[in-house]
A and B are shown apart, each in its own frame.
Chain A
């Protein structure tokens, strides 16, 4: 009964929403959450979108177009990547367990491609491994994938033709299949993230797929902090966050501040309640998904980030000498003395503004970490975002948290130091 009603509501809602999208036309993506009437809590893809679909004879029809996309990782850094439907990464495919889906894939790249449905039960011929499950989709061709979603969970889709290149270029996206019969407490917020890594050499405008170890752009849904949208929730909300990782070479331990959570599912299925344990960090291996749930009990601005410290940096070089312990003015002085171009550059910078002497960097590069915070520069970038827990339904991005009196770290006073016997 419930399921029938849900299916009914769901189908009519989607049909209304995307009724204008004709097959063959380039599908428009739109921000998720528009299907408010859906019988499930629609998933939100921060900085991303949910793919639209139409219902044809009870089948959900999606259309993915693989193409080159000029993608902005954060203002100041963009690149010619590959994505789906004009997006990097592709839009989230969202459906319900038991749905029949037809997914058209049009190849507008200059090279062949396929799409693999990572974690889904599909007929072997629909698995998308180029050469093994099918012949690859040549440029200009449109292929049809058709199957029934036999189980729920968090899955991924990605190119399975010349993976090394095509995934390094960004050809991937998330799949969310809601359960036909939900169990457990319903969530108030449902977020989904694709974790990935890139090599974009400062001054270039194209990811380098040949890189094996030194990735310098680590993204949450294709963005780096400070361009990552914050997660804005209300205190007491039950929050679900789904992570998928399709990084070339790295696993990402995602750490959430201020809360502990439970890992409830992988792309292999739900974890039985008896097997769950509390965590503050979830390791998301590459080629896997992890879903966590918690109640946002603590008001404030809370960091959520990969705990591998180099993954919260951006394009800093890794082959440079270690200059810790050196008077930084020494190198400045030597360069000024011996390299007239350096002296001129420093002079130019001083004339322009009171910036650092060494302010001129390559075009299209974000070598310096950081975004502006309420108390100064947040010296983080890459896989970093902020969960904003507010007492009431916040508007916009929630602004900065205003800590109640006495709850903000500050310099110790003389009296406090002496009271507690702390030497100055």
Chain B
């Protein structure tokens, strides 16, 4: 009777310890909410239903000129790495549930048959350490899950800003192509005037050849600008996860659709640290490692041991019940070494956290200064330098009207204006990148230093000078 009650309590206890995977579904929803909050882009609830609907919704977007916001949404729907990330979150969730489960009890059955009867030993043992460590293990798995969550949000932030960067690049490449087309038009017109003068018998051959060279170089630079545009396009296409017909998207004209509100830049360091998903992962890892420390002695004594019930029926005495268990004697292994290792691991984590925090702060300062300088440079080019080039064309024109200079002086002033316009595209692109870097940092991910030397004006190299 007493034994029955004990068994009943045991089973009840075990049941209370198990938790279903479905109970952790809210975790994924939370993560999706965080992503939306940080990137401003909807990621839905991740159900197959939602995914199907979203894919159907985004297909028509690809048939009309694509805006930056839509590109971001398309990427979150179509880029397969998003699914991979959420699948990894699923693994972390499963790990958490697993950590909450109690190890299965071990049933020992030992029967001996004698001539005069049989002896039966039954033992039900629960691994001892598993029971002792279960709260810590759960806490550790919980910390791991938090780290996973942070990592996924970080991955999504990085993806969104990669898309924004690729979009900026594509737009810059398209503008560069337009500048190159104007360049060709100016060079072509200049050459045609020269050809007409040659036909009229008014110019010498070297003058004509000179114009042909200028025009040929302009053609070459336009071809390069076109190639640049096609290559830049692929950067975006693959980030959007597009292929086949869907890869035939076109770019919407720039319309100032999204404004960057930099907020209080004097607080850039604090904002970056507060938002940092890397630091969030570090904190979670520290929590996880901390769960392992101070448990050396426990593990030494209880490692591989169990506690349970033993029942035995002896031939003469009938059934007998009693507790059963085993312990290791901490004579050779007191568990201190394990404790030290765990503490060292904790110190490693803490040191790395410190270094990461220093880096985040440094990145915040660098990106803030870069954004300030690049946007200032862009404003100056827009307000001062480019108008000067336009003014120069006008001034040369008045002198052309006054018969002081010829049409070729006008064409070459125009070509200089266009070259300056290509440099202006560089400045705008660099300001875009600086802005996106800073935005990304404030969204929680420190952007990697760009290795790529790509600039919109690179096509100009073909036109000489």
Contacts and interface: CB of A to CB of B under 8 A. Distances in A.
A331 interface: yes
Nearest to B184: A338
Contacts of A324: 200, 202
Contacts of A338: 182, 185-186, 188-190, 411, 414
18 contacts: A203-B398, A315-B404, A317-B403, A319-B405, A320-B403, A321-B197, A321-B408, A323-B200, A334-B190, A334-B407, A337-B189, A338-B182, A341-B393, A342-B397, A345-B394, A358-B397, A362-B402, A367-B403
A321 B403 contact: no
Given A339-B410, A339-B414, A321 B402 contact: no
A323 B194 CA distance: 10
A326 interface: yes
A203 B399 contact: yes
Contact of A330 (B193, B203, B393, B411): B193
A363 to B, nearest CB: 9
Interface residues of B, number: 33
Contacts of A359: 401
B393 to A, nearest CB: 4
Contact of B398 (A320, A327, A362, A368): A362
Q: Which of A321, A322, A337, A338 has the most CB of B within 10 A?
A: A338
B405 A360 contact: no
A180 B21 CA distance: 132
B394 to A, nearest CB: 5
A325 interface: yes
Contacts of B189: 334-335, 337-338
A74 to B, nearest CB: 15
A320 B406 contact: yes
A322 B400 contact: no
Given A321-B406, A325-B201, A325-B202, A360 B397 contact: yes
Interface in A87-145: none
B196 interface: yes
Contacts of B390: 341
Interface residues of A, number: 33
Given A330-B193, A334-B192, A339 B393 contact: yes
B192 A341 contact: no
Interface string A168-195: 0000000000000000000000000000
B185 A337 contact: yes
A335 B407 contact: yes
B404 A339 contact: no
A361 B403 CA distance: 9
A341 B394 CA distance: 6
B393 A326 contact: no
A331 B395 CA distance: 18
Contacts of A319: 405-406
Interface of A: 201-203, 315-317, 319-327, 330-331, 334-335, 337-339, 341-342, 345, 358-362, 365, 367-368
Interface in B129-168: none
Interface in B363-419: 390, 393-395, 397-408, 410-411, 414
Contact of B402 (A202, A330, A337, A345): A202
Contacts of B186: 338-339
Interface in B404-451: 404-408, 410-411, 414
A128 B73 CA distance: 89
A320 B404 contact: yes
A203 B396 CA distance: 11
Contacts of A342: 397, 410
A323 B197 contact: yes
Please give me the 10 A-B residue pairs with the lowest Cβ-Cβ distance, nearest first.
Answer: A325-B200, A367-B402, A334-B189, A317-B404, A338-B189, A361-B402, A358-B401, A320-B406, A338-B186, A322-B202
A365 B186 CA distance: 28
Given A319-B406, A339-B411, A358-B401, 13 more contacts: A202-B402, A202-B404, A317-B399, A319-B405, A321-B408, A325-B200, A330-B193, A337-B189, A338-B189, A342-B410, A362-B402, A367-B402, A367-B403
Nearest to B409: A320
Q: Which residue among A203, A339, A342, A359 has the maximum number of chain B CB atoms within 10 Å of its CB?
A: A339
Contacts of A201: 404
Contacts of B398: 203, 360-362
Nearest to B185: A338
Given A321-B408, A337-B185, A341-B393, A330 B196 contact: yes
Nearest to A317: B404
A154 to B, nearest CB: 36
A345 B396 CA distance: 12
Nearest to B411: A338
A174 to B, nearest CB: 32
Contacts of A368: 403
Contacts of B402: 202, 315, 317, 361-362, 365, 367
Nearest to A327: B196
A418 to B, nearest CB: 36
Contacts of A358: 397, 400-401
A323 B203 CA distance: 9
Contacts of A323: 197, 200, 202, 406
A345 B402 CA distance: 14
A243 B370 CA distance: 71
B189 to A, nearest CB: 4
Nearest to A362: B398
B188 to A, nearest CB: 8
B397 A345 contact: yes
B202 A321 contact: yes
Contacts of A320: 403-406
A250 to B, nearest CB: 21
Given A202-B399, A323-B202, A339-B397, A317 B405 contact: yes
A359 to B, nearest CB: 7
B214 to A, nearest CB: 12
A34 B251 CA distance: 82
Contacts of B397: 339, 341-342, 345, 358, 360
B197 to A, nearest CB: 6
B193 A331 contact: yes
B401 A360 contact: yes
A367 B404 CA distance: 8
Contacts of B404: 201-202, 315-317, 320, 362, 367
B197 A322 contact: yes
B209 to A, nearest CB: 15
A342 B393 CA distance: 8
A339 B393 CA distance: 8
A367 B189 CA distance: 26
A325 B202 CA distance: 8
Contacts of A321: 197, 202-203, 406-408
Contacts of B406: 319-321, 323
